[in-house]
Amino acid sequence: MTGKKIGIEDLRSRKWFMNPDNPEMTALYLERYLNYGLTRAELQSGKPIIGIAQTGSDLSPCNRHHLELTKRVRDGIIASGGTCIEVPVHPIQETGKRPTAMLDRNLAYLSLVETLFGYPLDGVVLNIGCDKTTPALLMAAATVNIPAIALSVGPMLNGYFRGQRTGSGTIVWKAREMLAAGEIDDDGFMELVASSAPSVGYCNTMGTATTMNSLAEALGMQLPGAAAIPAPYRERGQISYETGRRIVDMVWEDLRPSQIMTRKAFENAIVINSAIGGSTNAPIHLNGIARHLGVPLDNDDWQKVGHDVPLLVNLQPAGEYLGEDYQHAGGVPAVVGELLSAGLLPHPEAVTANGRTMGENCTGRRSEDTRVIRSVSDPLVAQAGFINLTGNLFDSAIMKTSVIGPAFRQQYLSNPDDPNAFEGRAVVFDGPEDFHHRIDDPAEDIDQDCVLFMRGAGPKGYPGGAEVVNMRPPSYLLKKGVEALPCVGDGRQSGTSGSPSILNASPEAAAGGGLALLKNGDRVRIDLNKCTADMLVPLDELAERARAFEAAGGYDAPESQSPWQQYFREKVGRFDQGMILEDADKYQDISRKWL
């Protein structure tokens, strides 16, 4: 504990439960919270009331273990002199929600803001885990700005099939190839895929879940070491208890998200994202969280701060290992310790949830298994971050250049005069259904001169944005041994996929971005050195296309299927700007606005 900054009279919950100016309302607020067994002493004697933002449920298997862990969180809160109120959060399950869980990130955000703002809570434990639950909860904590600490549910145990590690998501890409090659049948496919999910917890690969849970720690919002502990390990219950204990002190210290998630913390997180081989979804989420705090952060920052950082963590899909191995090698503190020892962490002075700095927490921590977490002097890849491309196709799109394989490099990036650029013929797909319909049609005449484009897959287009930009070549090219074609799109890519695609193009076609004007057969040029992507179409022709696009009423996106899809599309912004509900970021630091 770093010292008490506020007193009992400053607690938000006093406005409800101990308001001398309004005893009648106090009685009305109080009586219903007594009716299940809370005592007046618990609510009126000045104990901070801590919300536990519960994302675990039967609908959310990745986070379901939080239902169990919450018992230990409660024990910790009570041991530290707090009272607990468990709060349901709109469920989000990455693998279960149609059309995409990304659509619900902002819905869970919106409802949790209202909950944290409008109820008698002094602090909150954020039960994070499955991909979108982490950013949704951090965004809400950012907007309301009450003391908050995150708690990962932890990854699943390692999956194995016939002695080989099978990782979440990543195994699906492999199983598809095996099924197509006739090596397994449909039952074999299901058995192989299910082997990657052997216990409670979230994806055991370095997909978006492990990425975002690691980044919640990197931002300083979790206790040190809290991200990587597998869900069933005893240490997971123990860190849950410590997290509960700590949040009560954070309330007294008045340590808020805005003091932890500063610009410095985001720069640390960008560096750590490169070192862990984090998901291409991370810039969307971190840029979004930053906007809700009023911290400037964009995709240029990701390139400037993160591109040159080496890859240290050898987890699938970029490497070999899985979540348990990450934990045994030391998790996030070991990664940060390795970066610190090489002087690569930009801001060791950034404050974290335990009241100490990142440098204090992690200095001296080193990898305990250098097969899984490498040192900076022996990295897996020298430059593991993203580049930010721009041009007449879009203002901003990101690419992880470190996943470009030798065959791709040889085919596209080996012109001695221009080694990092290539030109090609655009093959344009309007959404994933169009892709599946046309990709194997010989009439498309796709060859290695082609660049595959996916549009209509962005926040407004799909809605929520589909993870569909990494497109396979047509089967007639696969049979000839062509494993990958360049892919560009205004959608996303699963964090468990390692394809070298140009992603998250903003603005998207459905918002009138340049991609909307691209036509099948156009020549395009992509330069990874200059970070540009352009259609080679004369300006007057582009102006004419823009006029025709406007006259036709814009991009022809599919109808909304639910009220939320409609509201989401009306309000949502661009991927590069965090895909938040536009205008929502004008509400900042609102926890005491009702005073």
Residues forming contacts to Mg ion in the complex (CB under 5 A) are: 131, 208, 494
| 207 binding ligand FES? (CB under 6 A) | yes
585 binds, among Mg ion, ligand FES, none (CB under 5 to 8 A by kind): none
> Is the Cβ–Cβ distance between 124 and 143 less than 8 Å?
no
Is 273 or 392 the residue whose CB approaches Mg ion more closely?
A: 273
* CB contact set of 543 (below 8 Å; sequence gap of 6+): none
Token pair of 329 as six digits? 């090698």
| Closest CB 376 distance from ligand FES, rounded Å | 29
Q: How far apart are the first and last CA of the chain?
A: 28
Burial 410-438 (b: 16+ CB within 10 A, else e): ebbbeeeeeebbbbbebbbbbbbeebeeb
Q: 97 or 455: whose CB is closer to ligand FES? A: 97
| Helical segments of 307-405, H only | 323-328, 331-341, 358-362
Residues facing residue 454 across a β-bridge: 429, 489
Closest to Mg ion by CB, 26 vs 93, is 93
Interface residue with ligand FES among 94, 104, 338, 534 (CB under 6 A) is: 94
Q: Of 37-66, which residues contact ligand FES (CB under 6 A)? A: 62
For residues 349 and 345, what is the distance between their CA atoms, to the nearest angstrom? 10
> Parallel, antiparallel, or unpaired for β 396-400 and 386-389?
antiparallel
Lookup: tokens for 169: 């998501």
We find the least distance from the C-beta atom of residue 131 to Mg ion, in angstroms, to be 5
**Cα separation of 155 and 231, whole Å?**
5
- Tell which one of 69, 103, 130, 141 touches ligand FES (CB under 6 A): 130
Shortest Å distance, C-beta 322 to ligand FES: 13
Which residue is closest to Mg ion by CB?
A: 494
- Min CB(62)–Mg ion separation in Å: 11
Query: What residue 268 binds from ligand FES, Mg ion, none (CB within 5 to 8 A, per partner kind)?
Result: none
Return the one option of Mg ion, ligand FES, none that residue 102 interacts with (CB less than 5 to 8 A, by type): none
What gap in Å lies between CA 270 and CA 279, rounded to an integer? Answer: 11
CB of 594 to ligand FES, least distance (A): 35
Gap between the Cα atoms of 128 and 579, Å rounded:
19
Between 165 and 204, how does the x/- string for binding to ligand FES read (CB under 6 A)?
---x---------------------------------xx-
- When the beta carbons of 213 and 367 are compared against Mg ion, the nearer one is 213
Q: Is 293 in the site for ligand FES (CB under 6 A)?
A: no
Q: Classify strands 123-128 and 83-88 as parallel, antiparallel or unpaired.
A: unpaired
Tracing tokens 């409660």 back to the chain, one arrives at: 74
Give the SS3 label for residue 460: coil
Tell me: does residue 95 bind ligand FES (CB under 6 A).
Answer: yes
Strands 523-527, 450-455: pairing is unpaired
Compute the least distance from the CB of residue 303 to ligand FES, in Å: 27
Site residue total, ligand FES (CB under 6 A): 10
- Give the one entry of Mg ion, ligand FES, none that residue 494 binds, where binding means its C-beta sits below a cut-off of 5 to 8 angstroms depending on kind: Mg ion
Residues lying near ligand FES in the complex (CB under 6 A): 62, 94-95, 130-131, 168, 202-203, 207, 209
